[in-house]
Structure 1
Amino acid sequence: MSETEPPVLLTLEGAVARLVFNRPHRRNAMNSAMGDALDAALATLEADPGTRVVVVSGAGGHFCAGLDLGEVGSQDSEAERLAAAQERNRKIGERYRRLSALPKVVVAAVQGAAHAGGLGWVCAADIAIASADARFCAPETLRGLVPAQILPWMVRRMGRSAATRMVLRADVIDAAEALRLGLVHQVASDAAALNSAVEAVLADIRKGAPTAIAETKALIAALGPLAPEGYAEAGALAFARCAAGEEAREGITAFQQKRAPRWAS
């Protein structure tokens, strides 16, 4: 698999659309090319009245490992790093919002790593099903970063207490714990069982009236905003400040070198 392959695959199969993160050599980490491809895929789904269900998954046995850290802090000056990180983080948050706002049922089928920004996709989906090998983590603080755009989605899915523990401890949890915390709705024993579980959900959704399902999603959204007004922009700025700083430089370097970060005391 090389970067010449499309980073996102979108197939429309009648009432079902399948959106696949397609950078398996990077555990489907999100880079700028994937972001552009996701924007195009979301625009297609927003304009397609025939699709009733969107299944989101990852190629190569992983869901999504979050942001590709190779692009963080790659600009020359601190001002450039700040601006690039803020814009990148803002766009990521908007993509979660667009996926959630689709008048279609969104199902996340999760295998392997669902880390950092990958958690955002899991929580922005309406229904999340994981295979037993799935692993979930919000490791941003370990990299000198903050979980800016994923935090509201985690709080909505898991509740404030569970989300707080997860983002502050930054440990890896398995599929069984994710089910207990409400991060996912169902755990399947393996990849084959995951496919079967997703197909069962699709069969159930097809029984519902499309307009009624869309209106129901709109009513759920009307129950209250995801976050206070201005949070997304404040989150993008907080992420940018951290991404442009020395802690992120050390945290990302330590991650790439597979060692513990050496924080200043």
Structure 2
Amino acid sequence: MTNPVIVRCVEGVLFATLNIPATRNALAPEVVAVLTDIVAQAEADVGIRALVLRGAGGTFSAGGNVGNFQARLDADVGHEDPVAARNRQFGHFMTRLATLPIPVIAAVDGPAMGGGMGMACAADVVLATRAARFALSETSLGIIPAQIAPFVVGRLGAALTRRLGLTGERLDGVAAEAVGLVDQLADDAAGLDELIAEWLTRIGRCGPHANRQFKALVARCGQTPVDSLLDDASHQFAQCMRTEGTEGIAAFREKREARWVTRFDAGIVCAAQSTDA
């Protein structure tokens, strides 16, 4: 059986590549369960500095697995609606992905439909090829993008999200970059490898602990009263200064690289995301 998600860790970066060619990397419940485990691993292991999500075979993800929808409809409702339960399972994964305290890169080549587009919107950096295609495709099936809506709104704003959802409009890579869904565009898959390497090298210059602390701090902005947030942030700052910051400041003064600096090139990225055994 084909492994639905190829996972490799290189230089502290977790590469997770969807690899279900028969369904164009559809997000079936078992695939979502694997992705949730990967996110939990990245969250718990302080040695992991970033997560890269990508799809094999020229497709990021076709979204939900429409092929198993009927089975859910045919199941006994009982005390819990199985359709709602499966849908909510994906939402739990989306929340874990969006709040992961390390940088998340979504590298999109080909279609990113429905839940696939939602995953991209939950990432911190979205890189794509010109062949990328994004759409909130659910409404064309008579359903709604229920669990991804908050994350799409967070990335694109309510007005654009409404437009995309109410019309089923598709955005290619160029259009997606123009509206801010994509941060940087590559001409093709090889160029995408190069972009991923560039962004991972940028992330590799930053203190891993500082990145985790900063991402968590940003997540609280707008959710916590400012004075309380800043009180907490001052203690976080002091803790960083006394740990990782000691090395960072010493490196700056001595005009050398900090010990945590890592670099990537396209070859490393390509190998890490290969579906070959």
Q: State if a TM-score over 0.5 links the two structures.
A: yes
Moved more, 112-121 or 22-31: 22-31
Asked if structure 2 preserves the Cα contact closer than 8 Å seen for 1:62 and 1:114, the reply is yes
Whole-angstrom CA distance in 2 between matches of 1:10 and 1:61:
18
Give how far 1:39 is off: 2.2
Quote the Cα distance in structure 2 between the aligned partners of 1:24 and 1:60.
7
Structure 1 CA distance, aligned partners of 2:48 and 2:64?
A: 28
Cα distance per residue 1:91-128 (max 9 Å; x no partner): 11111111122221000000000000001110111000
Q: Which residue of 2 aligns with 1:55?
A: 52
Distance of 1:77 and 1:14 partners within structure 2 = 45
Aligned residue identity for 2:12 = A
The question of whether the paired residues in 1 share the 8 Å contact of 2:75 and 2:82 is answered with no
Does residue 194 of structure 2 align to residue 199 of structure 1?
no
Structure 2 partner of 1:43: 40
In structure 2, the partner of 1:244 is none
- Corresponding pairs, count: 222
Please give the alpha-carbon distance, in whole angstroms, between the structure 2 residues aligned to 1:189 and 1:77.
45
Report what 1:15 is aligned to. 12
Match of 2:153 in 1: 155
How many angstroms apart in 2 are the aligned matches of 1:174 and 1:83? Answer: 36
CA-to-partner distance for each residue in 1:208-258, whole Å, 9 max, x for gaps? 111211111112111236xxxxxxxxxxxxxxxxxxxxxxxxxxxxxxxxx
Structure-1 residue corresponding to 2:237: none
Shift of 1:54: 0.6
Report deviation, 1:50.
0.7
Q: Secondary structure at the match of 2:63?
A: coil
Which AA in structure 1 matches 2:130? A
The alignment partner of 1:9 has SS state of strand
Cα deviation code 1:160-192 (max 9, x no counterpart): 111110011012111111111111111111111
Aligned to 1:253: none
Q: Counterpart in 1 of 2:111?
A: 113
Write the letter of the residue equivalent to 1:70. Answer: G
Q: CA RMSD in A?
A: 1.6
Partner in structure 1 of residue 218 of structure 2: 220
Query: 4+ residue runs of structure 1 moved beyond 2 angstroms?
Result: 75-80
**Contact 2:128 2:185 (C-alpha < 8 Å) held by counterparts:** yes
Match of 2:207 in 1: 209
Matched-pair contact (CA < 8 Å) for 1:129–1:194: yes
Secondary structure of the residue aligned to 1:118 is: helix
Q: How does the TM-score come out when normalised to structure 1?
A: 0.80
Amino acid at match of 1:10: V
1:71 aligns with 68
2: CA distance between counterparts of 1:141 and 1:114? 15
Contact 1:108 1:127 in 2 (8 A): yes
| Separation of aligned partners in 2, 1:223 and 1:164 | 25
The 8 Å contact of residues 15 and 50 in structure 1, kept in 2 or not, is answered as: yes
Q: How far apart are 1:77 and its partner, in Å?
A: 5.1
CA–CA separation in structure 2 for the residues paired with 1:36 and 1:210? 27
2:81 is the counterpart of 1:83: yes
Which runs of 5 or more residues in structure 1 are unaligned?
A: 226-265
Please show how residues 117-136 of structure 1 align to structure 2 within 5 Å.
117-136=115-134
1:14–1:50 CA contact under 8 A, matched in 2? no
Paired with 1:19 and 1:224, the residues of 2 have a C-alpha distance of 31
**Share of identical aligned residues, percent?**
38
The separation in 1 between residues aligned to 2:76 and 2:113, in whole angstroms, is 27
Q: What SS does the aligned partner of 1:108 have?
A: strand
The one-letter code matched in structure 2 to 1:35 is: V
Matched letter for residue 56 of structure 2: A
Instruction: Report the alpha carbon displacement of residue 14 of structure 1 after superposing the two structures with TM.
Output: 2.4
> Could you say what secondary structure the match of 2:120 adopts?
helix
Paired residue secondary structure (1:71): helix
Q: Which structure's CA Rg is the greater one?
A: 2
